[in-house]
Amino acid sequence: MKNIKPISLEDCLPLRQKVLWPSLTVEECIDPEDQYSKHVGYILDNQVISCFSIYPKLQNNYQIRKFATSPSFQRKGIGTKLFTTVLNDLKQKKIEFVTLNARITAVEFYKKFDFYLSGKKFIKKNIPFIPMQIALKDFNFKYNSIE
């Protein structure tokens, strides 16, 4: 996908801060594991409009972190396209499991990709989250291109 590409943490941080943690500084939005993560973005007109980080927890178990899409591009298929592309890429690389901590408000989004609840709800920075995961061998989501 020409719009989906690896990006730097510095390219990811402004959108992460704006969408996920607007009350924090950009520096406060940095996760200690960011240095070990890969960051991927959907680029449109040289701007990151959707992004997240991929953290290798174990050899065959990765975690998606800090998924953010610009408000003006939400509900237009951009995040779905980015997410689907990366999950398919991880499946091709024989990654077995993908986990994430979903904001309660995003659980239904992840369920449409067959992620399932895998832990107990917890609170981080006053926001409720719940762990979710998928076995990538079961992932078979095809996305119709928006381009």
Q: How confident is the model at residue 143 (pLDDT cuts 50, 70, 90)?
A: low
What is the DSSP annotation of 88-115? HHHHHTT--EEEEEEEGGGHHHHHTTT-
pLDDT at 144 > cutoff 60:
no
For residue 103, list its beta bridge partners. 129
Two structure tokens written together for 28? 């406060």
For residue 97, list its beta bridge partners. 61, 135
Return the CA Rg of the chain. 14
Q: What is the pLDDT of residue 145?
A: 43
Q: What span, in angstroms and rounded, lies between the C-alpha atoms of 6 and 42?
A: 9
- Provide the terminal-to-terminal Cα distance of the chain, rounded to the nearest Å: 10
**pLDDT tens per residue across span 79-113:** 999 999 999 999 999 999 999 999 999 999 999 89
pLDDT at 34 > cutoff 50:
yes
Sorted by where each starts, the structural domains of the chain and their CATH numbers stand as: 4-138 (3.40.630.30)
pTM, 2 dp:
0.89
Q: How confident is the model at residue 13 (pLDDT cuts 50, 70, 90)?
A: very high
CA angle 124, 125, 128 (to 5 degrees): 45
**pLDDT tens per residue across span 45-76:** 999 999 999 999 888 899 999 999 999 999 99
Q: What is the pLDDT of residue 78?
A: 93
Q: What is the pLDDT of residue 2?
A: 84
Q: Which of 13-17, 102-106, 115-119, 140-144 has the lowest mean pLDDT?
A: 140-144
Q: What is the pLDDT of residue 120?
A: 96
Q: What span, in angstroms and rounded, lies between the C-alpha atoms of 80 and 33?
A: 24
